[in-house]
Amino acid sequence: MVHIYRLLYALFVLILFTLFGCKEYDKKLTSEKEIPSKPIGLKQNYKDDFFIGAAINHALIEKRDSLGLELLETEFNSITPENIMKWMHIHPGKEVYDFSLPDAYVDLGERHQHFTVGHTLVWHSQLAEWVTEVKDSTELKEVMEDHINTIVGRYKGKIDSWDVVNEALNEDGSLRESVFYELAGEKYLEWAFELAAEADPEAQLTYNDYNLTNPEKRAGAISIVKQLKDKGLKIDVVGMQGHWNLKGPSLKEIEESILAYHNAGVKVAITELDITVLPNPWDLEGAEVSQNFEGSEFMNPYPESLPDSVQKELADRYQSIFKLFLKHKDKIDRVTFWGMNDGSSWLNGWPIKNRTNYPLLFDRSYRPKEAYHSVLALKN
Ligand code: XIL
């Protein structure tokens, strides 16, 4: 009899434990779920949407910018070299290549496991002087073969995406009279993409340009995509640089462009995003950028700090742009900012030297700005 009581008691305790013990455990699980894991960085928050990249300069590649390196680790999962892979730096003489910084850049990308971009193989700007002495299309083809095979071959499997041709278009959608075009006509585009694909068949290949939201230039970019595809050549991405301002391009123009490139059968990358808050000399009647605006208070209105109202305007602009990117995340591969923070942005020196611009998400002390929080808020 005593045994039966003991057995019933044990059973009772077991039932109690099952009921309340598990409840406790459940509660713990639920409350753990209720507290969202600490949001860490843009890259983490946008990991299911697209890569978040930054253009990095030589100070960062040489590890002289420790705060920049920290930001790179927490916020970004893709990198683009701001200057060091451009022709004049990587291939300064016909027989001379300089791989010291590009090697360090690619090592950095491998160590951080970043999606690593090569910028850029064929571009009329920041070109080595000697290329302008090339005589004819036969020699140009040999030069391009050597340039692309050597560079893409060296980083095969390490550079994930190449900006194969940069800024080949005029504003009206026609091809720019670069040294490449003058010697070979539109053929040079085909050579570039063909050579890049042969040198690394796995790498993503991009045509990259600015103002690709303008309908005429957009049509030009789409005809490049068609030309290459018709020839059976590989082109994976159109890179819209994204050097934008507080008002333009409109969200409608950006959206129409994303859709147009998607319909042409390529992915879209936003490759050089920054939003200037300063007046643009081209908007002034009769203004010539070659005119000297340096030192003009009107053209450099915020030398000390950005007023709250403009800070807010920038945050709203970034938020609406990222909202649109999220809407079309299936078409967008990567969004890369052109620089890490306001202090290192090229827009402090272009198109007018010595200005104080505020175009990025991190301020001069590498602190997140209101615009950073507005972009992050879309994911929380
Ligand atoms: C810019 C760099 O940011 C500057 O440091 C350099 O002096 C000039 O070039 N389009 C491009 C980029 O494809 O390579 C340019 O980068 C900005 C415009």
**pLDDT tens for the chain, residues 1 to 380:** 445 555 555 555 444 444 444 333 333 333 333 444 444 799 999 999 999 999 999 999 999 999 999 999 999 999 999 999 999 999 999 999 999 999 999 999 999 999 999 999 999 999 999 999 999 999 999 999 999 999 999 999 999 999 999 999 999 999 999 999 999 999 999 999 999 999 999 999 999 999 999 999 999 999 999 999 999 999 999 999 999 999 999 999 999 999 999 999 999 999 999 999 999 988 877 777 777 788 888 999 999 999 999 999 999 999 999 999 999 999 999 999 999 999 999 999 999 999 999 999 999 999 999 999 999 999 98
CA of 83 to the centre of ligand 1 (A): 7
What pLDDT does residue 6 have?
58
Q: Has 129 been annotated as catalytic?
A: no
Atom of ligand 1 nearest to the CA of 346: 3
Q: Which of ligand 1's atoms lies nearest the C-alpha of 243?
A: 18
CA angle 40, 379, 320 (to 5 degrees): 125
Indicate the burial class of 76 (C-beta count within 10 angstroms; 0-12, 13-18, 19 or more): buried
* C-beta 57 within 6 A of ligand 1: no
Residue 18 C-alpha to ligand 1 middle, in angstroms?
66
d(CA 134, CA 136): 6
Gap between the Cα atoms of 331 and 50, Å rounded: 9
Which of the following is catalytic: 82, 272, 313, 370?
272
Q: Which two tokens stand for residue 332?
A: 């967008």
The closest-lying atom of ligand 1 relative to the alpha carbon of residue 163 is 13
Residues forming beta bridges with residue 362, ordered by sequence position: 368
pLDDT of residue 17: 41
Q: Is the CB of 241 under 6 A from ligand 1?
A: yes
Kindly state if the Cβ of 82 falls inside 6 Å of ligand 1.
yes
346 CB within 6 A, ligand 1? yes
The reported pLDDT for the residue numbered 349 is 95
- Catalytic annotation, pick one of 167, 194, 313, 370: 167
Q: Which residues contact 93 (CB under 8 A, 6 or more apart)?
A: 128, 130
pTM of the model: 0.89
Among 350, 352, 353, 357, which residue has the most ligand 1 atoms within 8 Å of its CB, making it the best to mutate? 350
Q: What is the pLDDT of residue 38?
A: 44
Q: How far is CA 317 from CA 190, 211, 215, 277, 361, in A?
A: 37, 18, 21, 11, 12
Element (H, E) at 237: strand 237-240
Of 86, 165, 338, 352, the one to substitute when testing ligand 1's pocket (max ligand atoms within 8 A of C-beta) is 338
